Amino acid sequence: MAADEEDVRLDKFLASSDRLGSRKRVVTALERGKVFVNEVEVGLAEASRRLRAGDVVRVWMDRPGSARRRTGPFEIGQLQILFEDDLLIVVNKPAGLLSVPLPNGDRTPSVYTLLEDHLRGHRHRRRPFIVHRIDRDTSGLVLFAKTLRAQEALKDQFRRREPERVYMALVYGHPTPPSGTWRDVLVWDKTALIQRETHPADPRGKEAVAEYRVIESLEDTSLIEVRLHTGKRNQIRIQARLRGHTLVGEQRYIYGPADIRPIEFPRQALHAHRLTFQHPGDHRELRVEAPLPEDFLNLLKQLRRRV
């Protein structure tokens, strides 16, 4: 600090407009262990400390472990936020809402645009950075970062296939055996905008791997859990279809005539249920779960009454 600021209180020094800018931000930084004087951490109890000429005051804004977690789920518009801190947000997306805006500039609401509004009031006017996405008519967990560095760290985890991504799906038929691994080579059809199965030697082909497990067998359907090892677009929908187990409500990846899919449901019965990954700040394991939404639960109740 400069000589002309000698004997100034620490909290007043930090609250100046060219530093943290407010008393509230100073209190938050001190509470979270982000403030150091001469390389020694200081807390709220030392807010009134008088500074000396030559003191070095440092604020470590993204100190690992200092990120703020919002306790419990809370709502912002159509979104339920299940976890939020200074580096990331995990959202429980309702079916029918886009993860990100359409590329043609259409302003149809999306998780991204709703989070933009949510973050607009933050001190640094942050914007969301997408880490992964799910289909419009799939419900459940979507992960966003608040900084480019956090986004890249999280995307690296997904590239290395480290996060656990677990979905719940309701499919026609009864997968046999009741648990196993789906392995396919898929290619994205840019004209039809769907995934197609292709030959393993196809240079355009991408490996798709998922583990499945039957949770509950019903009369003509099964509730299954699917754990993704790869994250190809529409992966669960096409891999289930390739084995004759079209998702209930599916409109694109269908198998056989319509009369073998008699159950009415306005979307594919697919829900991103659990996400486990490493926090990009302090590297602790985070595990977030989104319960099955009301429409999915009501469908299950109807089908259980038929058994």
Q: Give bridge partners of residue 40 from the DSSP assignment.
A: 37
144 SS3 class:
strand
Q: Which of the residues 86, 135, 137, 295 is marked catalytic? A: 135
- Interatomic CA distance for residues 210 and 245, integer angstroms: 15
Q: Could you tell me the two tokens for 233? A: 């677009």
Active site residue 135: yes
CB atoms within 10 A of CB 180: 14
- DSSP code per residue over 261-276: -----SS--EEEEEEE
- Tell me the pairing of strands 74-76 and 129-130: unpaired
Which stretch of DSSP H or E encloses residue 113? helix 111-119
Q: Give bridge partners of residue 172 from the DSSP assignment.
A: 221
Rounded-to-10 torsion of CA 174, 216, 251, 276: -120
- DSSP code per residue over 54-95: T--EEE-TT-TT------S-EEETTEEEEEE-SSEEEEEEPT
Which distant-in-sequence residues (6+ apart) come within 8 Å of 297 by Cβ? none
- Interatomic CA distance for residues 203 and 205, integer angstroms: 5
Catalytic positions, written as ranges: 135
